[in-house]
Amino acid sequence: MEQVLKVGELAKRSGVSISALHFYENKGLIKSSRSNGNQRIYPRAVLRRVAIIKVAQQLGMSLNEIREAIAVLPMNKTASKSDWQQLSQFWHRQLEARIEKLTKLRDDLSSCIGCGCLSMEACALRNPEDELASSGSGALLLE
């Protein structure tokens, strides 16, 4: 029989609060089952999954990005070497794109310091290459 952890045990071993674990479960990042006493129980493999979630959050990834990335991993069993390679390749592409954007921001920022424009129409940082022109006027960036 596979070793399972109660929610409190998982919280203690992972360093993540019980409420955070419930939140992760609600967002589909982890999955529990129920014991005979109706307590949440998790397979031991969820420890690794929670660790990945925390590292990804520290890297600034959104929960949606994390969910998409860890979708290649089995939910409640130990991941294989192939699973880890898929995750690694996915994150490599994500991080390369993020590095490219940050590098461009860094390089463009130096030419913008002092102008103070941050104009929605003209600012190369806020509206590069006038990408928003075809979307109409008004507040368009609701991120």
pLDDT at 11: 96
CATH topology for 1-77 is Multidrug-efflux Transporter Regulator; Chain: A; Domain 2 (1.10.1660)
Question: Which residues are registered as beta bridge partners of 103?
Answer: none
Which residue has better confidence, 131 or 23?
Answer: 23
pLDDT in tens, 90-133: 889 888 988 998 888 787 776 665 555 555 555 666 656 565 55
pLDDT at 96: 92
Burial of 136 (0-12, 13-18, 19+ CB in 10 A): exposed
Q: The whole model's pTM is what?
A: 0.69
pLDDT in tens, 33-82: 998 888 999 999 899 999 999 999 998 889 998 999 898 888 878 888 99
pLDDT at 1: 52
Q: What is the DSSP string of 47-63?
A: HHHHHHHHHHHHTT--H
Q: What is the DSSP string of 2-16?
A: --EEEHHHHHHHHT-
Which residue has better confidence, 137 or 58?
Answer: 58
